[in-house]
């Protein structure tokens, strides 16, 4: 079978143009041919650090290759594992068959070092997605294992350029460049592992990270938060971002409150930015959470595009997602507890109720979902909820902790009905929804394909420390 070729995701900051030159370069191998993804360790030196950093990546890069598919096509991805430990690949947001979901023990055995696993599935929904391991993900993602996955619309909106940004971070020892130790309970029971080096497509972020633009250009930006724990709130200095999709799903094009984009781990946003500055000007793209400048929008000198696209429509076609029947839902409550401060959690571990300090000390667990703490590598799981395929469910999620949690459901898109009783301004479909401390968020979902689907916090240290559960569809 023929193998598809890639342009490494790092080689170019953007991989598709309206004219399609780069896009067609990515399509040298016909659709339907198998793709090889090989995990492995490689080293690179980041400026400002005293030594080389051992990174884990796919095909020798982090992020791994940016995969681009056409909606509806069936893709085959052969994963070879050259890591010193087992792994799996989860296709975050893609509604894959249960057996292809990449959850160790639940949907497949872990791929051991030296072994291979073939993933094959159709991509039913257009949009911006990503892939990452689901085995010891707090460490594997934290070492650089993740990549972008784009499913093209049949009729994409017209833009001059299509740019994908995978934003992540690394926590490195400044002197040696080595990773700080993984798995510390102090991180797992609090904000998670926050890095000291924020990367954009694997490159060091900061004022010297340039995104070159032409005056008059219209850019589609696909933002993917691949950090294990860091929350970003992006600002575009005098440029007004129009959000056109969250988690790959179309939303009425709108400028978000304060013109900032909130992105918890796992979440994606598609934006359109019209470059209305003048040749030679520079603008900072910064993160309001860390206060750091992540990149500089640098206008080329004396180079103007006539903004012929300004005013062109931005509404994306919606994917065909099952629509909740809100006249006859079954209602559920899911409550999250735990963390290093706040109301004490009592967790169930192996069917026994134990207090939080014992969960932490003995089991490395710090969070509960409806009083249960589930570790990421659990083999057998009692479901949080059992739902009948095709039925509608309204889930009221209560964040009983003083921490933020981006909650992710596998295999489904849900509609966000309200945040603390307030309906979102525009109909919102997501696979990951952000909860501020003490928030209550209500979602509606139609139970999809039968199987056990993970429902977990995408702060991967929280997931590792018990903030996981399973929603069973029968
Ligand atoms: Cu992106 Cu279960 O995760
Ligand atoms: Cu969390």
**Across 101-113, average pLDDT:** 97
Residues 265, 251: Cα–Cα separation, whole Å: 20
113 neighbors 122 (Cβ within 8 angstroms) = no
Residue 29 has pLDDT above 60, yes or no: no
194 neighbors 171 (Cβ within 8 angstroms) = yes
**Which of 162-176, 363-377, 382-396 has the weakest average pLDDT?**
363-377
Residue 13 has pLDDT above 60, yes or no: no
Ligand nearest to the CA of 464: 2
Rounded (5°) CA angle 333-339-344: 75
Burial class (CB in 10 A: 0-12, 13-18, 19+), 63: buried
Cis ω on the peptide bond leading into residue 221 (within 30° of 0)?
no
Tokens 């994917």 correspond to 319
**How far does the centroid of ligand 1 lie from the alpha carbon of residue 134, in Å?**
7
Residues 80, 97: Cα–Cα separation, whole Å: 21
Six-digit token string for 247: 């988690």
413 neighbors 427 (Cβ within 8 angstroms) = no
**Across 101-110, average pLDDT:** 96
pLDDT band at 31 (very low <50, low <70, confident <90, very high): low
Residues 6+ apart with CB under 8 A from 432: 93, 247, 264, 266, 267, 406, 407, 408, 409, 458
Residues 35, 1: Cα–Cα separation, whole Å: 10
Whose CA is closest to 376, among 91, 93, 104? 104
Six-digit token string for 456: 């977990």
Six-digit token string for 408: 């992710």
- Point out the ligand 1 atom lying closest to the alpha carbon of residue 130: 1
Long-range (24+ apart) CB contacts under 8 A made by 106-112 are 106/378, 106/381, 106/452, 106/454, 106/470, 107/451, 107/452, 110/86, 110/135, 111/79, 111/81, 111/86, 111/87, 112/81, 112/86
Prediction pTM value = 0.92
pLDDT at 347: 67
**How far does the centroid of ligand 2 lie from the alpha carbon of residue 226, in Å?**
15
- Point out the ligand 1 atom lying closest to the alpha carbon of residue 410: 2
- Point out the ligand 1 atom lying closest to the alpha carbon of residue 93: 1
pLDDT at 345: 63
pLDDT band at 25 (very low <50, low <70, confident <90, very high): very low
- Compute the half-sphere exposure of residue 397: CA atoms within 13 Å on the CB side of its CA: 35
Kindly tell me the sign of the dihedral angle through the C-alpha atoms of 104, 108, 112, 115: negative
Q: Which tops the pLDDT comparison, 29 or 180? A: 180
Residues 416, 430: Cα–Cα separation, whole Å: 7
pLDDT at 30: 55
Q: Which tops the pLDDT comparison, 375 or 19? A: 375
Tokens 């103007």 correspond to 304
List residues near ligand 1 (CB under 6 A). Answer: 90, 92, 132, 134, 266, 408, 410, 454, 456, 458
pLDDT at 1: 38
**How far does the centroid of ligand 1 lie from the alpha carbon of residue 408, in Å?**
7
> How many angstroms separate the Cα of 279 from the Cα of each of 160, 217, 240, 275, 310?
17, 11, 18, 10, 18
**Residues 240-299: pLDDT tens digits?**
999 999 999 999 999 999 999 999 999 999 999 999 999 999 999 999 999 999 999 999
Residue 210 has pLDDT above 70, yes or no: yes
**Across 341-366, average pLDDT:** 70
Residue 26 has pLDDT above 70, yes or no: no
pLDDT at 258: 95
Ligand nearest to the CA of 231: 2
**How far does the centroid of ligand 1 lie from the alpha carbon of residue 410, in Å?**
7
- Point out the ligand 1 atom lying closest to the alpha carbon of residue 132: 1
Ligand nearest to the CA of 338: 2
Residues 246, 151: Cα–Cα separation, whole Å: 14
Residue 357 has pLDDT above 80, yes or no: no
3-state SS assignment for residue 461: helix
**Residues 294-313: pLDDT tens digits?**
999 999 997 777 767 888 89
Whose CA is closest to 429, among 316, 313, 272, 334? 316
**With DSSP H G I counted as helix, E B as strand and the rest as coil, what are the percentages for the chain, rounded to 5?**
5, 45, 50
E-strand ranges in 339-391 read 346-349, 352-355, 367-369, 385-387
Residues 28, 22: Cα–Cα separation, whole Å: 10
**DSSP 8-state assignment for residue 305:** -
Name beta bridge partners: 67: 149
**DSSP 8-state assignment for residue 361:** I
Which helix (DSSP H) or strand (DSSP E) does residue 24 occupy?
helix 21-25
Name beta bridge partners: 234: 261, 287
167 neighbors 200 (Cβ within 8 angstroms) = yes
**How far does the centroid of ligand 1 lie from the alpha carbon of residue 334, in Å?**
18
- Point out the ligand 1 atom lying closest to the alpha carbon of residue 454: 2
E-strand ranges in 242-384 read 242-246, 249-254, 261-263, 268-274, 282-287, 292-304, 330-338, 346-349, 352-355, 367-369
Q: Determine the distance from the C-alpha atom of residue 464 to the mean position of all C-alpha atoms in its chain, rounded to a whole number.
A: 16
**How far does the centroid of ligand 2 lie from the alpha carbon of residue 193, in Å?**
12
Residue 404 has pLDDT above 50, yes or no: yes
> For 268, phi and psi rounded to 5 degrees?
-130, 155
């Amino acid at each position: 079978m023929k193998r598809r070729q890639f342009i490494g995701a790092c080689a170019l900051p953007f991989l598709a143009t309206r004219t399609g030159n780069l896009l067609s370069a990515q399509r040298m191998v016909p659709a339907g041919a198998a793709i090889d993804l090989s995990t492995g360790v490689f080293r690179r030196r980041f400026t400002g650090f005293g030594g080389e950093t051992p990174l884990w990546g796919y095909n020798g890069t982090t992020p791994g290759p940016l995969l681009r598919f056409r909606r509806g096509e069936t893709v085959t991805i052969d994963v070879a594992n050259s890591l010193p430990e087992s792994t799996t690949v989860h296709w975050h947001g893609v509604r894959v068959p249960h057996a292809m979901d990449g959850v160790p023990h639940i949907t497949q055995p872990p791929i051991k070092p030296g072994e291979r696993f073939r993933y094959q599935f159709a991509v039913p929904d257009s949009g911006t997605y990503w892939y990452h391991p689901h085995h010891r993900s707090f460490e594997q993602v934290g070492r650089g294992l993740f990549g972008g996955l784009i499913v093209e619309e049949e009729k994409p909106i017209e833009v001059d350029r299509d740019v994908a940004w995978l934003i992540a971070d690394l926590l490195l020892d400044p002197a040696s460049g080595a990773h700080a130790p993984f798995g510390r309970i102090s991180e797992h029971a609090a904000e998670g592992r926050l890095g000291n080096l924020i990367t954009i497509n694997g490159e060091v972020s900061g004022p010297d990270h340039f995104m070159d633009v032409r005056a008059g250009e219209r850019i589609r930006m696909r933002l993917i938060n691949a950090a294990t724990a860091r929350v970003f709130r992006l600002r575009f200095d005098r440029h007004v971002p129009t959000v056109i999709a969250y988690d790959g799903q179309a939303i009425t094009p709108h400028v978000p409150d304060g013109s900032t984009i909130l992105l918890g781990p796992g979440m994606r946003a598609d934006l359109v930015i019209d470059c209305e500055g003048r040749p030679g000007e520079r603008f900072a793209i910064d993160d309001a959470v860390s206060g750091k400048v992540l990149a500089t929008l640098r206008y080329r000198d004396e180079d103007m595009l006539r903004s012929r696209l300004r005013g062109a429509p931005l509404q994306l076609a919606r994917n065909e997602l099952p629509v909740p029947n809100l006249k006859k839902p079954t209602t559920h409550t899911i409550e999250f507890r735990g963390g290093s401060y706040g109301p004490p959690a009592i967790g169930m571990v192996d069917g026994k109720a134990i207090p939080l300090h014992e969960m932490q000390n003995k089991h490395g667990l710090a969070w509960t979902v409806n009083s249960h703490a589930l570790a990421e590598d659990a083999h057998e799981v009692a479901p949080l909820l059992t739902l009948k395929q095709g039925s509608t469910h309204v889930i009221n999620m209560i964040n009983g902790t003083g921490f933020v949690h981006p909650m992710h459901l596998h295999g489904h898109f849900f509609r966000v009905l309200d945040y603390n009783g307030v309906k979102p301004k525009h109909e919102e479909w997501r696979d990951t929804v952000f909860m501020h401390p003490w928030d209550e968020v209500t979602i509606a979902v139609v139970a999809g394909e039968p199987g056990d689907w993970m429902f977990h916090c995408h702060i991967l240290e929280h997931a590792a420390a018990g903030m996981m559960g399973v929603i069973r569809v029968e």
